Structure 1
Amino acid sequence: MSSVEANSLVNLSSSLISLRLDHCSLQGEFPNDIFHLPFLQELRLSGNEDLFGRSPKSNWSSPLRFLDLSSTLFSGMLYDTIGNLISLNELDLSYCQFIGSLPTSLWNLTGLTFLNLGFNNFSGQVSGLLSNLGQLNYLNLDENKFSGEFPDVFGNLSKLIVGSANANNFTGYLPPSAFNHIQLLELDLSDNQFEGHIPQVQFQIPSLNM
């Protein structure tokens, strides 16, 4: 698809449920009004590397279930209003230019199964409220500027299969619960500043009755 100006999207129907424009060579500023469409459940813009925009400060489309802005030029802060997306299942903001601390309201999105915030400039500590996201299968926080101790939340993330937070500035001790997680198949905490011992692993066989 040839390059398309983002402002050509401003007249979309207010009844729109799904909008998929992955890898369409979109350029220019993404119309913020699209985030406010009252029935929108799916918005995918991945791979439009000349498309820029910012997350809304208010009035997100609350029915939204799938939001993918990865590999675009979206930037700025992620505002507390993202917590209004109570139906959200998948959130992919990887390879963007977001900055600042993660809003506390993000941890209210308890229906999330997929969360990718990798390759941005997010900073600050990751809250222990991450443990609220008990439905997560996939978590990626790679290559940001997170610091402080990584919260010991894996005991509450019982459905997590892949967890990655490499190339940040985490310090302190490795989270012990990550090493006794039955479902976890991949864990990458490399390129951080952890110290101390690797926690003892308690091998468990889920089907074994004791």
Structure 2
Amino acid sequence: MFSGSISHFCTLSTHFTATVLDLSDNQLTGELPDCWIFTGFLELLNLANNKFSGEIPPSLGSLFRLKMLHLRNNNLIGELPSSLKNCRELRMLDVGGNKLTGTIPQWIGTDVANLKVLSLRFNKFHGNIHPRICHLADIQILDFSRNNISGKIPDCFNNFTSLVQKGNSTESTRFYLYPISGNHFERVPYIDTYADNVLVHWKGRESEYRKLGILKGIDLSSNKLVGTIPHHFSDMRGLVFLNLSRNHLTGSIISSIGQMEMLEWLDLSRNELSGKIPNSLAELHFLSVLDLSYNNLTGMIPLGTQLQSFHPSTYAGNSQLCGLPLAKCPSDHGHGGKGNNIEEEEDDEFISRDFYICMVFGFITGFWAVLVTLFLKHSW
């Protein structure tokens, strides 16, 4: 519950040698001091969950060793300073939950291309997502949700090598202390509890993860994105969650979505998607959270263990969608996810009605034919 300003931070000696500075989860206020040039040994700076205001100071760009920068959930304004492109060792940049403006800087995809986590969520960023963002080969969490981002989704997300690969494809970041022993620095391993400390909006709630492990996801929800979902999304076989809800996306759900076999959470709700739900969606055996509501989807929900187990609200707002768990599809409509199943249903319906009628009529006719013959043929 520490409070007050940290402006006196500028009076620190130039011999400041800490590698980790964590002031998170307090009640600190005021503007961030613009004198970080004296803290060149910092590898992690965590000022999250306070009440800091003003702009992000440009001198943060002088922290050449910085690997993690947490500024989330404050009242920071302005744009991301271009000086941050000098922090080429950044692995995690989390500025979510502020009032930052401007466009997403192109230097993020070029100068700080080693990012594992990039969270710009819940700000006021606008403009398009530049294709240079696709240079982030090691990215595991990409969160641009709840902004004013417009335009199309770049058709190059399959360049995210970490998301294409299944499993934990990136190493955790370790930090070191540099305690002064006389005039010498002693390099001592520091516990890596900060290695993957990140806030993720996961399955409807915010959760803080100390270890990312195989958790990989993209959240572009609550923006103004248009166009179709790129077909190359299906190449991201390591993706665990995908949230594209509350945009203006059109077209159909990609037919090869079943290739994203690690998906546990898929939210495409409140867009303008049309067409049928692809059969391959029923092949996602890890899928535990699904929301396709309020689109223009049509036809029959594909048959499978997963899709019929979800609550009907999963498919709400699609008036021409039918099949379990919604109302049964009309038998004379050629809708549906699997044509063979429809033909089998029609065949079964034929056997259970016309076939048995003919069978009974044939039995009666045959029986009386034998009986009449017995009456006429006295020898029999």
TM-score range normalised by the length of the shorter chain: 0.7 to 0.9
Aligned partner letter, 2:79 = A
What does 1:1-210 correspond to in 2, within 5 Å?
1-2=52-53, 3-12=76-85, 13-36=87-110, 37-48=112-123, 50-58=124-132, 59-88=134-163, 89-177=216-304, 180-181=305-306, 188-198=314-324
Structure scoring higher RCO (CA < 8 A, sep ≥ 6) equals 1
Q: Which amino acid aligns with 2:81?
A: S
Change (3 A) 1:148 1:110: same
1:139 to 1:80, Cα distance in 2 relative to 1, 3 A? same
- What per-residue deviation string (whole Å, max 9, x for no partner) do you get for residues 10-51 of structure 1? 433111100001112111222121133221110011110x21
Equivalent position of 2:342 in the other structure: none
Using the TM superposition, give the Cα deviation of residue 128 of structure 1 relative to its aligned residue in structure 2, in angstroms. Answer: 1.6
Query: What is the alpha-carbon distance in structure 1 between the residues aligned to residue 103 and residue 233 of structure 2?
Result: 25
CA contact (8 A) 2:79 2:102 kept: yes
- Structure 2 counterpart of 1:191, which letter? G
Q: Which 4+ stretches in 1 moved above 4 angstroms? A: 182-187
Alpha-carbon contact 1:172-1:193 (below 8 Å) kept: no
RMSD: 2.1
SS in 2 for 1:33: helix
SS of corresponding position for 1:155 = helix
Decide whether the 8 Å contact of 1:17 with 1:41 is kept in 2: yes
User: Alpha-carbon deviation of 1:9?
Assistant: 4.3
C-alpha distance in 1 between matches for 2:148 and 2:321: 35
- Please state how far the C-alpha of 1:168 moved relative to its aligned partner: 0.2
User: Which of the two has higher C-alpha Rg?
Assistant: 2
Instruction: Tell me the CA shift for residue 60 of structure 1.
Output: 2.4
Contact kept? 2:218, 2:243, Cα under 8 Å: yes
- How many residue pairs are counted as aligned between the two chains? 197
Task: Report the 3-state secondary structure (helix = DSSP H, G, I; strand = E; otherwise coil) of the residue aligned with 1:145.
Answer: coil
Distance in 1 separating the partners of 2:311 and 2:236: 23
- How far apart, in 1, do the equivalents of 2:122 and 2:217 lie? 17
Q: Is contact 2:308-2:324 (8 Å) kept?
A: no
Specify every segment of 5 or more residues in structure 2 that has no aligned partner in the other structure, as ranges: 1-51, 54-75, 164-215, 329-380
1: CA distance, partners of 2:84 / 2:251: 39
Name the structure with the higher strand share. Answer: 1
State the SS of the aligned residue for 1:64: coil
Q: Report the alpha carbon displacement of residue 71 of structure 1 after superposing the two structures with TM.
A: 0.2
Q: Which has the higher helix share?
A: 2
| C-alpha distance 66-197 of structure 1, shift in aligned 2 (>3 A) | closer
Structure 1 CA distance for aligned equivalents of residues 271 and 288 of structure 2: 21
Change in CA separation of 1:197 and 1:31 when aligned onto 2, cut-off 3 Å: closer
CA contact (8 A) 1:10 1:34 kept: no
TM-score (norm 2): 0.49
Amino acid at match of 2:272: K
Aligned partners of 2:115 and 2:138 also within 8 Å: yes
Distance (Å, rounded) in 1 between the aligned partners of 2:307 and 2:154: 34
The whole-number CA distance in structure 1 between the counterparts of 2:321 and 2:147 is 35
Task: State which drifts further: 75-84 or 55-64.
Answer: 55-64
Percent identity at matched positions?
26
